[in-house]
């Protein structure tokens, strides 16, 4: 996709993170990215941070761009597309990161645009995102390849069917909150056994970061990596036994299941 012009409808944290990835990966330069938002402070922040042009007019961005990233909250989507959806047509690739808003719903509010839906998560802000992308009506193979390249620039991306995006929301979309809760609890455990709070939190966070990196970079099954640190009769097996007796696995599985179900409920209302 040569000479791409990428327009963001919405200029919040996720848009800013994606713009940083686009510029760093060379997908486009500052002259090839623009954004709109009603909040002047958000636009000013993007201009200072990334050197791009901004506008308070969604229609101005739609008229200029060949790729549009719909980066607004789900409840704002109807108002945004009521304003400019009729102008989003076959010459546009519309890439939506609005949680729960189906491509079928987007198709009803646009004019035969090529549609892709994506579910990134908050680690996009530090370019360590887990993102799933799903093909919508009229999206081409080239569109999908480009979208994957974009999201790979801010982390790792997988391609799935749209029907699986509620499950993605339940796992990686909501997952950072589960991990933060675990880190907080791990640090609390450290404080309980005598570590200073700041030290306990640093050790807990770095342990989670390092463990995840070890899993991703080695490609080993997590059970094998777990067994590497679990000696017969040792400290780790004692801790694991406590987690198992408290239903740790079951609680995590149930959290993903309930978040997935809630995502599906909210999607029906969108």
CB atoms within 10 A of CB 199: 12
Beta strands (DSSP E) in the chain are 6-9, 33-36, 53-55, 67-70, 93-96, 114-119, 129-135, 155-159
For range 211-226, the mean pLDDT: 97
265 has a pLDDT exceeding 70: yes
77 has a pLDDT exceeding 80: yes
Element (H, E) at 207: helix 197-218
Of the candidates 65, 14, 10, 23, the residue with the CA atom closest to the CA atom of residue 150: 23
Q: Is the pTM of this model over 0.85?
A: yes
Inter-axis angle of helices 197-218 and 175-192, to 10 degrees?
130
Pairing of strands 155-159, 67-70: unpaired
* Amino acid 237: pLDDT: 97
In DSSP notation, 32-50 reads GEEEE-S-HHHHHHHHHHH
> Tens digits of per-residue pLDDT, 89-98?
999 999 999 9
In terms of phi and psi (left: phi > 0; alpha: psi -120 to 50; beta: otherwise), the region of 188 is alpha
* Amino acid 267: pLDDT: 79
2 has a pLDDT exceeding 90: no
Q: If DSSP states are collapsed to H, E and C, what string results for 103-139? A: HHHHHHHCCCCEEEEEECCHHHHHCCEEEEEEECCCC
Structural domains of the chain ordered from first start: 6-162 (3.40.50.720), 173-269 (1.10.3730.10)
266 has a pLDDT exceeding 90: no
> Tens digits of per-residue pLDDT, 18-42?
999 999 989 999 999 999 999 999 9
Which DSSP state fits 172?
Answer: I
> Tens digits of per-residue pLDDT, 133-179?
999 999 999 999 999 999 999 999 999 999 999 999 999 999 999 99
């Amino acid at each position: 996709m040569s000479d791409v012009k990428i327009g963001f409808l919405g200029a919040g944290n996720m848009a800013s993170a994606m713009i940083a990835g686009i510029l760093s990966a060379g997908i486009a330069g500052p002259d090839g990215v623009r954004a709109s938002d009603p909040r002047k402070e958000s636009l000013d922040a993007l201009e200072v941070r990334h050197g791009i042009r901004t506008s308070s007019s969604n229609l101005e961005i739609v008229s200029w761009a060949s790729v549009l990233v719909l980066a607004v909250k789900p409840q704002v989507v109807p108002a945004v597309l009521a304003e400019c959806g009729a102008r989003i047509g076959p010459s546009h690739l519309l890439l939506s990161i609005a949680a729960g808003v189906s491509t079928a719903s987007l198709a009803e509010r646009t004019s035969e645009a090529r549609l892709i839906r994506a579910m990134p998560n908050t680690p996009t802000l530090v370019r360590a995102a887990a993102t799933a992308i799903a093909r919508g009506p009229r999206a081409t193979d080239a569109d999908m390849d480009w979208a994957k390249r974009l999201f790979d620039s801010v982390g790792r991306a997988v391609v799935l069917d749209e029907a699986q995006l509620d499950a993605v929301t339940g796992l990686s979309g909501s997952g950072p909150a589960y991990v933060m809760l675990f880190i907080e609890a791990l640090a609390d455990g450290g404080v309980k056994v005598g570590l200073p709070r700041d030290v306990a939190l640093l050790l807990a966070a770095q342990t989670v970061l390092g463990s995840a990196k070890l899993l991703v970079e080695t490609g080993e099954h997590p059970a094998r990596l777990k067994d590497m640190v679990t000696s017969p009769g040792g400290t780790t097996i004692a801790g694991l036994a406590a987690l198992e007796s408290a239903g740790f696995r079951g609680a995590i599985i149930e959290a993903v299941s309930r978040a997935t179900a809630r995502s599906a409920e909210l999607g029906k209302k969108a």
